[in-house]
Amino acid sequence: MADITNLRQAFVDEIRDIYHAEKQLLKALPKLAAAASDVELRGALESHLAETANQVSRLEQVFTLVGEKPQTKTCAGMAGIIEEGSAVLGESPGPVLDAMIIASAQRAEHYEIAAYGTVAAWAEGLGYTDAAELLRETLDEEKTADETLTGLAEAGINVAAGEPPTTPARARTAGAS
């Protein structure tokens, strides 16, 4: 992209990227939620899916506020995170898979936190105060989603995932030696 020469252009480029990232998550989150065994984890992923739909419309408002039409640009970063996350979905349901789902979802949240932190700061710097406010609202939701996942992991899913399997006994002995 040799045609980006100012911060406003860089800003528009970044919101196109995160717009595509969010649209990819709209498709990926239901799959992660469906694969989760823990009821609270499934609920957290489903409620973040609803937030994600709202984040997409917030981004559309941001495009309008800065005089641009909503347009996506391929977000290879989120595509890679989702590709890695989808790879675990073939595993057997249970606490270990739940722990891996959390690991994958948190990577997505951290990517978003980085992206929204940047675009909120740039919007502020460019004088797009209303857009900055909308982007910070989403940033806060992403941070809360991340904290919720940490909470669920620490409240029990990691412990359950670390318990030795009840069968087969032979594998347990081998694993302990």
Sign of torsion over alpha carbons 141, 142, 145, 150: negative
Which residue lies nearer to Zn ion by CB, 123 or 145? Answer: 145
Which residue lies nearer to Zn ion by CB, 12 or 113? Answer: 113
Number of helices (H) and strands (E) in the chain: give both, helices first: 7, 0
Rounded least distance, CB 22 to Zn ion, Å: 8
Among positions 12, 36, 44, 75, the unique one binding Fe ion when judged by CB under 5 A: 75
Write out the DSSP string of 53-116.
HHHHHHHHHHHHHTT--------HHHHHHHHHHHHGGGSPSSHHHHHHHHHHHHHHHHHHHHHH
146 binds Zn ion (CB under 5 A): no
Which residue lies nearer to Fe ion by CB, 50 or 169? Answer: 50
φ/ψ bin of 163: left (φ > 0), alpha (ψ from -120 to 50), beta (otherwise)? beta
Please report how the helices 7-35 and 76-87 are oriented relative to each other, as an axis angle in degrees rounded to 10.
Answer: 10
Among positions 14, 17, 38, 142, the unique one binding Zn ion when judged by CB under 5 A: 142
146 binds Fe ion (CB under 5 A): no
The Cα 62–Cα 12 span in angstroms is 10
Among positions 24, 55, 104, 148, the unique one binding Fe ion when judged by CB under 5 A: 55
Helix (H, G, I), strand (E, B) or coil at 2: coil
Pick one of Fe ion, Zn ion, none as the site partner of residue 77 (Cβ within 5 to 8 A by kind): Fe ion
- Using the contact rule CB under 5 A, the part of the chain among 36-44, 109-117, 132-140, 147-155 near Zn ion is 109-117
- Using the contact rule CB under 5 A, the part of the chain among 45-53, 90-98, 126-134, 152-160 near Fe ion is 45-53
- Using the contact rule CB under 5 A, the part of the chain among 58-66, 94-102, 104-112, 154-162 near Zn ion is 104-112
14 binds Fe ion (CB under 5 A): no
SS3 content of the chain, % helix, strand, coil (to 5): 80, 0, 20
Which residues contact Fe ion by CB under 5 A? 17, 52, 55, 75, 77, 112
